[in-house]
Amino acid sequence: MYMKDLWTILVIFIQPVLWWGVIRTYLNYRKRIKQERKNYNTSIYSNNFEMKHFWTSLVVFGIIGSILTSLMGIYLAIPWIVIYEILIFINLLIIPGQFMAVLDFAVATGLTFLVDQMGWLSQFDLSDSQQVIPSYQNVLALLTVIVLLLGFYIKHYFGKHNSPRIFTNQRGTKVAGYLNKGFSIIPLLVLIPSNQIHEVINFWPVFSVGTHSFTLMILPVLFGIRMTVFKTMPNDLFHKLGNKILWVAVLGIALTAVSYWFPEISIYAILVLTILYLAVVLRVKMQDHNSDNWFDQAVNGLRVIAIRPQTPADKMGIKIGDLIVEVNNEAVHSEDEFYKALLDSPTFCRLKVINRNGRIKIVETAIYSDAPTEMGVEVFEVE
């Protein structure tokens, strides 16, 4: 009874995972700002978009996800919940740069299955007669919901704030890489057997439907992915990745439906979804790796590697990867030549730019006479 009570209390007070996620998000923001100021003497994105994304995704996807889990009646056992929450806490604490949202599900399921087979969870009947469908079938349904929401999450939030890091490729050329490592903790409403909490805390609300009794619980779920992009426009890459993940979710929906008639496939379906998700992420990453179009330093102009928002460059539609070859009809090859050409006409700027598709475009704008250096363009520094 002592072990059962301990596990139940851990579930009730496991919400520190959420608050550690808030702390980790703030630390990521401070680290980014520090690095940008070190590399470019200014912050490219001064606002804390990491925290904004954390809370907006928490609310939006938490509501949508909870509606889905409630409609599906997802019913979980406490041992799986505790193992999963411990895994994501370790993920955030020890390996904070890697957000193994889907892999944590598979590992938690495997560990729960293993310790159950060894008889360590005999006091927690994972096939409790109160459960409408077997436990692993519910985990499959929950994983499908997570993969579905994760696809939309990546499409909506990733690739829009591109803070470059400078690397050197195998040819010794400076290249920019764009690290995207956003994450959030999504609260999802799930059902758990009523006796597993009510016996420890007798005032915990219990609901009954027919012969089944259950109680509600908010389950914090880790959302996120980490990927550095070197050769593809980040927004395009993550839009493509999000779409591919949504197709994995479609397969998950089909497998979840089939598991209602063949529940024994559930644990294998969880493994299949996890492998497919990892394969999709790896394939997109390899496609970027195998491309030839680096964000590299150029000799025939200035390669744009970052654009500060709400600046003249942003308003002119300059994009990362563009090559600035002329400023006010003067050819430029260095940052000094760039600003010298701007000072020759401090109230007006006309740029000749070659985009990543090789097309030439002419853009122009008026600028403040006392701020020609505030164009908002970041390029490679010349050593």
| Domain assignment of residue 369, yes or no | yes
**Would you give the distance in Å from CA 8 to the centre of its chain?**
30
Residue 295 domain-assigned (yes or no): no
CATH number for position 345: 2.30.42.10
Do 331 and 282 lie in one domain? The reply is no
Same domain, 163 and 206: yes
281, 306: one domain: no
Give the tokens for residue 64: 């949508």
Residue 205 confidence (pLDDT): 66
Q: Provide the domain limits for residue 241.
A: 2-290
Pair (167, 20) in one structural domain: yes
Residues 292-305 pLDDT 10s: 888 888 888 889 99
* Residues 182, 53: Cα–Cα separation, whole Å: 8
Give me the pLDDT at residue 178, please.
Answer: 93
Of the residues 290, 315, 347, the one at which a domain ends: 290
Q: Is position 174 within any domain?
A: yes
Predicted confidence at residue 281, as pLDDT, reads 93
* Backbone torsions φ then ψ of 229, nearest 5 degrees: -105, 130
The pLDDT of residue 143 is: 94
pLDDT tens, 125-138?
A: 444 434 433 478 88
Please report the pLDDT score of residue 257 as a whole number: 93
Q: Considering only CA atoms, which of 236, 369, 374, 233 is closest in space to residue 315?
A: 374
Closest CA to 381 of 44, 42, 40, 45: 40
Does residue 296 fall inside a structural domain? no
Q: Say what the pLDDT of residue 194 is.
A: 65
Q: Is there a single domain that holds both residue 167 and residue 314?
A: no
Q: Are residues 116 and 169 in the same domain?
A: yes
Distances (CA, A) of 200 to 12, 169, 196, 341: 11, 59, 7, 74
| pLDDT for the residue numbered 61 | 95
State whether 213 and 345 are in the same domain.
no
Task: Tell me which residue of 165, 162, 159 sits closest to 40, measured CA to CA.
Answer: 165
Q: Out of 257, 290, 323, pick the residue that ends a domain.
A: 290
* 11 residue type, one letter: V
The confidence score (pLDDT) of residue 254 equals 96
DSSP for 126-145, please give it. Answer: TT-TT-SS-HHHHHHHHHHH
pLDDT of 284 reads: 94
The answer to whether the beta carbons of residues 332 and 320 sit under 8 Å apart is no
Indicate if 50 and 132 belong to the same structural domain: yes
H helices of the chain, where? 2-12, 16-40, 49-72, 78-94, 101-117, 135-157, 195-198, 234-259, 266-290, 312-315, 335-344
In this prediction, the residues of the chain whose per-residue pLDDT falls under 70 are 1-15, 96-99, 116-134, 194-205, 207-212, 346, 368-373, 382-383
Q: Any residues with CB less than 8 A from the CB of 250 and at least 6 apart, and which?
A: none
CA–CA separation, 273 vs 251, rounded Å? 8
The DSSP result for 156-206, as a single string, is HHTTSS--EEEEE-TTS-EEEEEEE--EEEEEEEEEEETHHHHTTSTTS--
Residue 70, number of CB atoms within 10 A of its CB: 14
* 250 and 107 in a common domain: yes
Indicate whether 6 and 137 sit together in one domain: yes
Model pTM? 0.85
Encode pLDDT of 200-244 as tens digits.
Answer: 556 566 766 666 677 778 888 988 888 999 999 999 999 999 999
pLDDT of residue 131: 43
> What gap in Å lies between CA 212 and CA 195, rounded to an integer?
11
Other CB atoms within 10 A of residue 306 CB: 22
Asked if residue 227 and residue 203 are part of one domain, the reply reads yes
82 and 35 within one domain: yes
**Residue 297 in domain:** no
Q: In total, how many domains does the chain have? A: 2
Q: Is residue 332 domain-resident?
A: yes
């063949």: which residue's tokens? 262
